[in-house]
């Protein structure tokens, strides 16, 4: 189970959606200019790829498979080398690639966090997470698609305002859920200890 609750995660993600899309509603031209620069903006790509690499290495460090315990250090070195090598040698659509990996990692966090929440409203986050997985895999294979999507999105200020307004509304929904349905305590089933001395445990009965 992750250390963050679904309520906190939904609140943070909802607030981020509201802030980003409020900008698009109020200043669509400025947002369009920034969005068009994003796919090939190398500094942003470096930050995103390094953040994704660090997050992935952290996830690996939390795994407890004994078969790979002795190899963890080598995994850290390998994944760090892949992340740094990507920043150095793969500049084409680097920002999109970094964003795609972060989306996959965030989707995992969303599903892991929602798993123990006893509310049907958790499906809002779960469905969104699976959509992010599909988008992340698609953009990893075809990063130029993001450029095409942005061009369509920024074709007119009217279209941008409408789409941003819808996403802003979704952000408000997440905030509302974080303060209501998601505030319930996680319901992860308690783990019972298994006695190591079976004959003694049976005799005690």
In a domain, 121, yes or no: yes
- Chunked mean pLDDT (size 10), the chain, 205 residues: 83 96 94 94 96 93 74 86 93 95 96 89 96 96 95 94 96 96 63 46 47
Name the token pair of 174.
């997440």
Indicate the pTM of the whole model: 0.84
In a domain, 197, yes or no: no
CA distances from 202 to 11, 19, 90, 191, 194 (A): 49, 60, 62, 20, 12
**What local confidence, expressed as pLDDT, does residue 3 receive?**
78
- Domains identified in the chain, total number: 1
Name the token pair of 148.
């095409």
CA distances from 178 to 26, 122, 197 (A): 25, 10, 45
In a domain, 171, yes or no: yes
Of 16, 41, 34, whose CA–CA distance to 160 is shortest?
34
Q: Give the SS3 label for residue 147.
A: helix
Q: Domain containing 37: what range?
A: 6-186
In a domain, 203, yes or no: no
**What local confidence, expressed as pLDDT, does residue 2 receive?**
57
In a domain, 146, yes or no: yes
């Amino acid at each position: 189970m992750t250390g963050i609750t679904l309520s906190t995660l939904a609140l943070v993600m909802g607030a981020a959606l509201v802030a980003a899309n409020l900008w698009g509603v109020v200043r669509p031209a400025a947002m369009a200019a920034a969005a068009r620069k994003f796919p090939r903006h190398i500094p942003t790509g470096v930050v995103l790829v390094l953040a994704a690499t660090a997050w992935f290495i952290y996830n690996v460090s939390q795994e407890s498979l004994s078969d790979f315990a002795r190899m963890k250090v080598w995994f850290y070195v390998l994944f760090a080398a892949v992340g740094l090598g990507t920043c150095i040698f793969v500049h084409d659509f680097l920002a999109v690639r970094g964003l795609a990996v972060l989306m996959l990692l965030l989707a995992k966090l969303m599903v892991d966090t929602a798993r123990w929440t006893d509310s049907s409203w958790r499906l809002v986050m779960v469905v969104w997470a699976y959509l992010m997985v599909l988008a992340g895999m698609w953009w990893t294979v075809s990063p130029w698609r993001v450029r095409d999507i942005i061009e369509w999105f920024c074709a007119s200020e009217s279209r941008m305002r409408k789409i941003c307004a819808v996403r802003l509304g979704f952000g408000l929904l997440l905030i509302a859920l974080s303060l209501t349905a998601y505030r319930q305590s996680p319901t992860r089933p308690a783990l019972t200890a298994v006695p190591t001395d079976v004959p003694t445990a049976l005799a005690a009965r």
